[in-house]
Amino acid sequence: MLKKFFTLLACVIGVELVGSISGFFAGDIPAVYAQLNKPLFSPPGSLVGTVWIILYALIGLALFLVIDSKERRSKTFAYLLFAIQLILNFIWSIIFFGASHFWIASFISLFLLISILFSIREFRRISKVAALCFIPYLAWVAFATYLSFGLAILN
């Protein structure tokens, strides 16, 4: 039982760290975001960070549920998809806010959205709850993709 707890903790903290490190390399995200011309329905910058903290916790929980699943089928493809979406997630902020390559970041966001869809499909075969943990992430990244393209157009 203690091993499961530490595995869960490692998954959640690990994913949260990925998000934090990405934000660190992206520079002063609030300052950049405040200066941009924003599309309709853009949330306040203070909300975005809070949402990501919750989403990263759910992403980490999903990983734990896949790891902990008693499903006998191979999990290799699920882990690969998880890694792909996490890498895309990691580089988006750096490309968008750090390098100001809005169009490139928008297409990265689109690829991230697609990789999340594939992850959900694969996770569902292993753990339905893990797949459900990715639904808010999917919804937010769909919205973020809209914002990303909107920001690219306006800036």
* Model confidence pLDDT, tens digit, residues 62-96: 999 999 999 888 999 999 999 999 999 999 999 99
Side-chain-side CA neighbours of 99 within 13 Å: the count stands at 13
Q: What is the pLDDT of residue 148?
A: 97
Quick one: what percent of the chain has pLDDT higher than 90? 96
**Mean pLDDT, residues 107-132:** 98
Asked if the model's pLDDT at residue 112 lies above 90, the reply is: yes
- The answer for 41, left when phi > 0, alpha when psi is -120 to 50, beta otherwise, is left
Binning pLDDT at 50, 70 and 90, where does residue 20 land? very high
Give me the helix-helix angle, 76-93 and 2-26, nearest 10°: 30
Query: Could you tell me how many helices (H) and strands (E) the chain has, helices first?
Result: 7, 0
Q: Among candidates 88, 139, 90, 80, which has minimal Cα distance to 112?
A: 88
Q: Specify the pTM.
A: 0.95
The residues near 107 (Cβ < 8 Å, ≥ 6 apart) are none
Binning pLDDT at 50, 70 and 90, where does residue 61 land? very high
